[in-house]
Amino acid sequence: MKPDPLGDWRRTHFSTEIVPELSGEEAVLMGWVTDIRDLGGIKFFILQDIRGSIQVTAPKSKVDPEILDKINSISKESAVGVKGKARAEEQAPRGVEIIPSEIRVLNPAKIPLPLDPTGHQKADLDTRLNSRLLDLRRPKSQAIFKIKHAACQAIREYLISNGFIEIHTPKIVRSATETGATLFPISYFEREAFLSQSPQLYKEVLTGCFDKVFEFGPIFRAEEHDTRYHLNEVLSADIEVAFVTKEDVMGVLEDVLVEVFKKVKQKCSEELKVLEKEIDVPEKPIPRITYDEALDKLEEAGKRVRWGEDFSIPEQRELGNIINGAYFVNDWPADLKPFYIMAHKENPKLSHAFDLLYDEIELASGGTRVHQKEVLIKQLKNKGLSPKQFKYHLKNFEWGLPPHSGWGLGIERLTMALTGARNIRECVLFPRDQKRLTP
Ligand code: AMO
């Protein structure tokens, strides 16, 4: 029987817990070897773990020859365990190093490596995504995902502390919620089914029993856009609230955005430094302009958009330059928005829908929903959809579904705004786009 590779070893300290004050204490560290140097009389390597790194120093005069042989045989990015004593040393990074008494190679890395995880040698995004595990050990990649994590935590904590209940809705569905053009069909036994584009219809229904709901989940979009802002699988944070209008949920979104920026600024200063990114917490109230006002602003800037057309990225960038930072665009043409959005009573060409933008990126959209069955049937038909397909959904409207409103926020686009990543693929562990289905 092969021995357990860890034996009786378990990590006693993370790299950053080793500080000069611990000089003389024994520790067991586990991680990856990033840099190995041989200065003749002394060998070094850097051990990296999730918290940071520590220098392991093996002077020939002080350590067993067996250890020196082991260091000679280690390849970069191998997983290792190191037992040794901490020693305060001014020359070492962070003023402390480990003098090893035993090294266990837990899993050797095969060389040559397809990329250099220290980031010293640049690799293109495709190469990095193909060897994502190695890429995710790069300090910049680590920083992006730690910031994404902090952002998700801030959203969750804010919503839970404000009375929202977390829901989990099906991702295999029967019908479209957004536009039918972006549905991914799947084979579901003998029937046709699709990957969910949004928890939209379920979250609306659940306001009828849970009042305030939220979901973090994947949304799937068969979009053919090949841009640095589009993915085919996205992480979305969705909310839906009973007995309120879009003004109220815009207030929630404003609070969430400010909270996220605040928390990331507070908790992720190291990560922001690694990314050389400074963030400004948006000030409340976040500016609100109507679609019509946006057209006027663009026209003043020499960009004419016909009423009823969506904004292109350059037009959004222009608006972002004019308004500077985060802003809401309100009251969109109904034709540009999905069937479940309520139209203005006095002018049905306009809808109670909004988008939240940050510079040139659309981060979120939402609105006041239709809650009357007849109106919803009419709007389904206007969009060329068959009410029959929505039979079960429509039933709910006969059972006292309250007036309700909500929004969906794209987490990868939010991460782009927080980290300054230029390509949305940097903000997903394993992106799905038209060309990429693996790894
Ligand atoms: P919408 O379709 O605008 O609205 O999506 C909401 C947010 O999700 C993100 N997003 C995307 N991000 C990257 N690539 C994509 N292909 C992509 N598609 C969407 C964006 C976008 O603002 N049901 C409504 C929300 C609601 O009204 O509650 C919806 O899905 O950040």
| Higher-scoring residue by pLDDT: 28, 224 | 28
Residue 310 lies in a domain: yes
Atom of ligand 1 nearest to the CA of 177: 23
The confidence score (pLDDT) of residue 2 equals 58
Which pLDDT band holds residue 174 (cuts at 50, 70, 90)?
A: confident
Whether 124 is covered by a domain: the verdict is no
Residue 408 alpha carbon to ligand 1 centre in Å: 6
**Confidence (pTM):** 0.96
Residue % of the chain over a pLDDT of 90: 92
What is the pLDDT at residue 254?
A: 98
Tell whether residue 411 is among the known ligand binding residues.
yes
DSSP secondary-structure letter at 216?
Answer: E
- Give CA separation, 436 vs 29, 144, 147, 415, 425, in Å: 36, 20, 24, 20, 10
Residue 183 and residue 299 in one domain: yes
Range of 359's domain? 134-427
Q: Domain of 187: which CATH number? A: 3.30.930.10
Residue with the smallest CA separation from ligand 1 atom 17 is: 230
Residue 311: per-residue pLDDT? 96
- In this predicted structure, the answer to whether residue 1 has a pLDDT above a threshold of 60 is no
Q: Are residues 373 and 235 in the same domain?
A: yes
Protein residue closest via CA to atom 20 of ligand 1: 410
Both 156 and 285 in a single domain? Answer: yes
The residue contributing the CA closest to ligand 1 atom 1 is: 365
User: 345 with 234, same domain?
Assistant: yes
DSSP 54: E
Are residues 342 and 367 in contact, defined by beta-carbon separation less than 8 angstroms?
A: yes
CA 124 vs CA 60, 130, 132, 141: distances in Å: 40, 10, 12, 13
For residue 203, is it within any domain? yes
Q: Are residues 146 and 277 in the same domain?
A: yes
Residue closest to 202 by CA, chosen among 163, 175, 162, 235: 175
Residue 4: its pLDDT value, please?
A: 77
Which pLDDT belongs to residue 346?
95
What is the model's pLDDT at position 178?
Answer: 78
Q: Are residues 203 and 75 in the same domain?
A: no
Give yes or no: residues 240 and 389 share one domain.
yes
| Pairing state between β 288-290 and 212-220 | unpaired
User: What's the chain's length in residues?
Assistant: 439
Which pLDDT value is given to residue 375? 97
Closest CA to 51 of 178, 131, 128, 137: 137
Residues 139 and 51 in one domain: no
**Shared-domain flag, residues 165 and 36:** no
**413 known member of a binding site:** yes
CA 233 to chain centre: 11
What single DSSP character describes residue 199? S
Residue after which a domain boundary falls, among 90, 107, 124? 107
* Averaged pLDDT, 169-197: 89
In a domain, 85, yes or no: yes
Whether the CB-CB separation of 255 and 158 falls below 8 Å is answered with yes
Same domain (yes/no): 253, 290: yes
> Atom of ligand 1 at shortest distance to CA of 355?
22
Concatenated DSSP letters for 116-127? -TTSSS---HHH
What is the per-residue pLDDT for 121?
A: 85
* Cα 366 to averaged position of ligand 1 atoms, centre (Å): 9
Residue 142 lies inside a defined structural domain of this protein: yes
Domain membership flag for residue 308: yes
**Confidence band of 3 (pLDDT split at 50, 70, 90):** low
- How far is 246 from 290, CA to CA, in rounded Å? 13
Q: Give Rg (Cα) of the chain.
A: 27
> Is 176 assigned a ligand-binding role in the annotation?
no
**Cβ of 265: how many Cβ atoms within 10 Å?**
16
Are residues 189 and 323 located together in one domain of the fold?
yes
**What's the pLDDT score for residue 11?**
98
In tens, the pLDDT along 378-392 reads 999 999 999 998 999
**pLDDT for 68-87, tens place per residue?**
999 999 999 999 999 999 99
Give the tens place of pLDDT for each residue, 103-150.
999 999 999 999 988 878 899 999 999 999 999 999 999 999 999 999
Q: Is the dihedral of CA 222, 225, 229, 231 positive or negative?
A: positive
Atom of ligand 1 nearest to the CA of 362: 22
259 belongs to an annotated ligand binding site: no
The rounded mean pLDDT for the chain is 95
Is the CB–ligand 1 distance for residue 363 below 6 Å? yes
Q: Give the integer Cα–Cα distance in Å for 135 and 117.
A: 6
Which band of pLDDT confidence, cut at 50, 70 and 90, is reported for residue 320? very high
Mean pLDDT of the region 300-315: 95
Ligand 1 near 274 CB (within 6 A): no
Cβ of 198 closer than 6 Å to ligand 1, yes or no, is: yes
* Nearest by Cα to 79 from 42, 99, 108, 39: 108
Residue 413, domain member (yes or no): yes
Does 96 lie in the same domain as 58?
A: yes
For residues 422 and 180, the model is more confident at: 422
Identify whether the C-beta of residue 118 lies closer than 8 Å to the C-beta of residue 140. no
pLDDT > 90? residue 5? no
Q: Is 6 helix (H, G, I), strand (E, B) or coil?
A: coil
- CB distance 31 to ligand 1 below 6 Å: no
For range 366-372, the mean pLDDT: 98
Mean pLDDT of 12-24: 98
Is 181 part of any domain? yes
Domain count, the chain: 2
Residue 70, domain CATH: 2.40.50.140
